[in-house]
Amino acid sequence: MPVGTQATVKGLSQRDLWDDLHARIILGNTYHLFLRPGHELIGRLGGLHRFMSWPGAILTDSGGYQVFSLSGLRKIADEGVTFQSHLDGDTHKFTPASTVDVQLAFGSDIMMVLDECPAYPVSHEYARVSMHRTVRWAEEAFGHYRQRIQNAPTRNALFPIVQGSMFPELRRECAERLFELDADGYAIGGLSVGEPRPLSLEMVEASEPFLPRERPRYAMGVGMPHELAEYVARGVDMMDCVLPSRNARNGWLFTSEGRVVIKHARYREDAAPLDPGCGCYTCRNYSRAYLRHLFQAGEILFASLATRHNLQRYLDIMGEIRQSILGGRFPLYLNSIRNSAAQDRGAAV
């Protein structure tokens, strides 16, 4: 899922996403949209799909992760989290029920429960208390959600989030407790918070066997291109990551031949396309030299062309994974990814 934090994937139009990249689901951030322009305004204007004119599906997070990572003062209590807006310092409160209401006002196709995403590292004791709070919040959110959809039936799904920091037994306990909620899908959160990469995969391994097999599993906030198949190998169906879009804007491009840091002098007179193996608009039309020029000149077109390519690369990888599964070749595919990742680890094109 491309990340569209403020109801936009930075640098791209919805037509680019839908017609060119064939993205069918994007992610929006509840924290940002709640603060500005506000869920009530978005609700009055017909919901997030109409507001941003997006024909596809939308997943929104609960806002919890951003509260913990962006807001200044915050206070976690049993009933929810009180925080100060990073925009104007105003005080707000998220509760398990209020974040369901906010996301229902958005009309999100997939909503997330409020959770606590602990920093890394934390003590086992803190992780345990925090995980139990996340489970309690998920139960409260589901109680409220089921009441709301009973009164006004919708098809908006609500996913609970497995937490437990980097402790496998806490992950397992959390997954087992959340299983009982009989949700439409399950998320594995608390990843990419600064832990060594192998630990993220280990935490997915610790959670996944205890989640229902026939429901989608969503690993939140992962990963690098060569890691996507690793998550899929561990039973993950959905992922989101700011890396392709954020790195694009910083001139860091993912190609089928490895990464390209476009500012490097070696691309100054390079007439080749960014990625000869890519069919995106950027690669079909422009040279590395032109892209490097745009980047060096600080032109906004660079962000747009680079984001388009990086997202295409991620979506192409997911397409390859899907095809290899359908063709019964996924183990072979995974091996080839592992071999090439080992080969060009640390090496730029």
Q: Which residues form the catalytic set?
A: 61, 240
Piece in contact with Zn ion (CB under 5 A), picked from 14-22, 106-114, 243-251, 301-309: 301-309
Closest contact distance (angstroms) between CB of 310 and Zn ion is 8
Q: How far is the CB of 19 from Zn ion (least distance, A)?
A: 16
Q: For Zn ion, how many residues bind (rule: CB under 5 A)? A: 6
Q: Kindly state the smallest distance separating residue 207's Cβ from Zn ion, in Å.
A: 34
Q: Which amino acid would we find at residue 71?
A: S
Residue 12 sits in the site that holds Zn ion (CB under 5 A):
no
Determine if 248 is a binding residue for Zn ion (CB under 5 A): no
309 lines the binding site for Zn ion (CB under 5 A): yes
The one segment of 4-12, 123-131, 241-249, 271-279 that binds Zn ion by CB under 5 A:
271-279
Distance CA 318, CA 313 (A): 9
Q: Which is nearer to Zn ion, 102 or 278 (CB)?
A: 278
Stretch that binds Zn ion, among 42-50, 157-165, 234-242, 308-316 (CB under 5 A): 308-316
What's the alpha-carbon Rg for the chain, to the nearest Å?
21
Told to check if 262 binds Zn ion by CB under 5 A, we report no
Do strands 217-219 and 186-188 pair parallel, antiparallel, or not at all (unpaired)?
A: parallel
| 234 makes contact with Zn ion (CB under 5 A) | no
Instruction: Look at the chain and count its residues.
Output: 349
Tell me which residues in 272-291 interact with Zn ion (CB under 5 A): 275, 278, 280, 282-283
Q: C-beta of 314: minimal distance to Zn ion in Å?
A: 11
Closer residue to Zn ion in complex, CB, 204/278: 278
Q: How far is the CB of 219 from Zn ion (least distance, A)?
A: 25
Stretch that binds Zn ion, among 53-61, 176-184, 226-234, 268-276 (CB under 5 A): 268-276
Between 140 and 316, CB nearer to Zn ion:
316
Interhelix angle 300-326/330-343, rounded to 10 degrees, is 140
Using alpha carbons, list the distances in angstroms from residue 48 to 82, 142, 245.
25, 22, 21
Rank residues 208 and 275 by Cβ distance to Zn ion and give the closer one. 275
| Chain residues that interact with Zn ion, rule: CB under 5 A | 275, 278, 280, 282-283, 309
